[in-house]
Amino acid sequence: MKNIAVFASGNGSNFQAIIDAVQDGSLTASINLLVCDKPNAYAVERAKAAGIEYFAFTAKDFSDKQAYETEILAKLAEYKIDLVVLAGYMRLIGPTLLSAYEGRIINIHPSLLPAFPGKDAMGQALRAKVKVSGVTVHYVDAGMDSGPIIAQETVDLTENETIETLQEKIHRVEHQLYPAVIQMLVSKSREEVKNG
């Protein structure tokens, strides 16, 4: 079974969806670690409630990104992490983690990339008055939401769409799509190992 670490900065609703998928057996992976850059984030409470180990840190306690990513890397090694899953982690991943986990870090983004990368993707979609947006799961590279796309699902916007209604639609899709993509990746890599 593959070991995953989830990185989150806030409420952690995608983290919860992944926990639920593991608990109901639709995701055959072990969540060994939560990494959170906001010690008071609700995601930490979700980890505690599920009995998942967590590493919560404050970036400004470290001299630079390399310093805290080195610390994170040590935790990933300690918990034997195979796949890093970003779920609302609001920091760009730096070279320290990217080089150690190349091709093994994924992210979920609330738009159909390459449209609306970066922060406030849903607000960007509303301001652009698009009729369709959606969700993208992609590999992480050095850019902002620019890595190779793994899966996408669309969400239709209505005439009177608000940020709240769009958020609800996007979350509904994310909470189904992300665990399914993670399952695909952990089974695929297991097959590759078996056939290798």
Would the pLDDT of 91 be above 70? yes
What are the residues facing 56 on neighbouring strands?
A: 36
Residue 10 CB neighbours (<10 A): 17
What are the C-alpha distances in Å from 33 to residues 29, 40, 51, 113, 179?
12, 17, 10, 28, 16
Share of the chain above pLDDT 70, in %: 96
Would the pLDDT of 81 be above 60? yes
Residue 183 CB neighbours (<10 A): 18
pLDDT digits 0-9 by tens, 158-181 = 999 999 999 999 999 999 999 999
- Domain range for 91 is 2-195
Residues contacting residue 123 through CB under 8 Å, at least 6 positions apart: 163
Total count of domains within the chain: 1
Would the pLDDT of 195 be above 80? no
CB 36 within 8 A of CB 55: yes
Would the pLDDT of 193 be above 50? no
pLDDT at 189: 52
pLDDT at 48: 98
Mean pLDDT over 124-130 rounds to 96
Would the pLDDT of 155 be above 80? yes
pLDDT digits 0-9 by tens, 41-57 = 999 999 999 999 999 99
Residues contacting residue 92 through CB under 8 Å, at least 6 positions apart: 144
Structure confidence at residue 188 as a pLDDT band (50, 70, 90) = confident
Q: What is the 3-state secondary structure (H, E, C) of 105-149?
A: EEEEECCCCCCCCCCCHHHHHHHCCCCEEEEEEEECCCCCCCCCE
CB 57 within 8 A of CB 71: yes
Catalytic residues: 109
What are the residues facing 107 on neighbouring strands?
A: 86, 138
Residues contacting residue 50 through CB under 8 Å, at least 6 positions apart: 19, 31
Residue 126 CB neighbours (<10 A): 17
165: which 2 tokens?
């209604």
Mean pLDDT over 104-133 rounds to 96
Name the strand (E) or helix (H) holding 84: strand 83-86
The DSSP call for residue 196 is -
Mean pLDDT of the chain: 94
Would the pLDDT of 196 be above 60? no
Structure confidence at residue 192 as a pLDDT band (50, 70, 90) = low
Q: Return the SS3 of 83.
A: strand
pLDDT at 18: 98
CATH number of the domain that residue 184 is part of: 3.40.50.170
Would the pLDDT of 191 be above 70? no
